[in-house]
Amino acid sequence: MIVSGRVIKLGDKIDTDLIIPAKHLKYTDPQYLAQHVLEPLDPEFHKKASKGVVLIAGKLFGMGSSREQAAIALKAAGVKAVLAESFARIFFRNAVNNGLPVMSCSKITEFVVDGDYISVNLSTGEVSLPEKGINLKCKELPEVVIKILSSGGLIEYLKGVK
């Protein structure tokens, strides 16, 4: 499973209150949520992401609350994958369950800057930045996670298994 796109780079500890503030949690409609994703950080984020981007972040991406809307909003806004140095456990699961690819990559922020073109093979953990001639090896995702992601999320996956 391969995803690619231009990079938007964020810092450490992007918490779920930043990804989708609590006032939007009364709704689950992906299109509505997409309009407000990362709003406190950059109200224009959803426009920048709309063509399809790969997010690169530092430590503990998605820390904080269990709100699944954080993963739904990112995906609906056009985020194709998130590669971070580490993830908060709940967010990581929510992302997979909603078909948003996520991969831990311990030193990724040292190699990537905003606007880079990146290609990620989720099954092997190979990451390449063709314009820079850089190839990295990150932690590949377990097979079951790839299957859930390919189905589009946990519920779709479970329906398929039944």
Partner 1 sequence: MKYEVIMAGEQTLTEKILSRAAGKAVTPNDIVEISVDLIGFHDLTGFHVIEVIESVGYKYIPNPEKLVIAFDHLVPPPDVRSAEIQKLVRELARKSKVLNFHDVGDGILHQLLLEKYVEPGQVVVGADSHTSTAGALGAFAQGMGATDVAAALLTGKTWVSVPQSFKVVLKGVPKKWVTGKDVALEILREFKADYFNGMSLEFYVEKSSEFPMDYRATVSNMGIEFNADSTLFVPDAETYSYLKNERGVECKMISPDKNASYVDEHVIDLKDVDLLVAAPYSVDNVKGVREVEGMEVDMVFIGSCTNGRLSDLEIAAKMMKGRKVRSRCVVIPASRKVFNKALELGYIQTLVSAGCVVTFSTCGPCIGGHFGVAGPDEVILSTSNRNFKGRMGSPNSKTFLVGPSVAAASAVLGKVSEPGELQ
Instruction: List contacts with partner 1 (CB under 8 A).
Output: 13, 15, 17-18, 21-23, 25-28, 40, 59-60, 63-69, 71, 86, 88-90, 93-94, 97-98, 142, 153-155, 158-159
Quick one: 133 or 143, whose CB is closer to partner 1? Answer: 143
Quick one: 51 or 162, whose CB is closer to partner 1? Answer: 162
**Interior/surface letters 38-53, b for 16+ CB within 10 angstroms, e for the rest:** bbeeeeebbeebeeeb
Alpha-carbon distance of 6 to 26, in angstroms, equals: 31
Quick one: 85 or 116, whose CB is closer to partner 1? Answer: 85
Shortest CB 98 distance to partner 1, Å:
7
Q: Scanning the structure block, which residue is given the tokens 């971070």?
A: 84
Shortest CB 22 distance to partner 1, Å:
4
Find all residues with CB under 8 Å of 133, minimum gap 6, and list them. Answer: none
Amino acid at 60: L
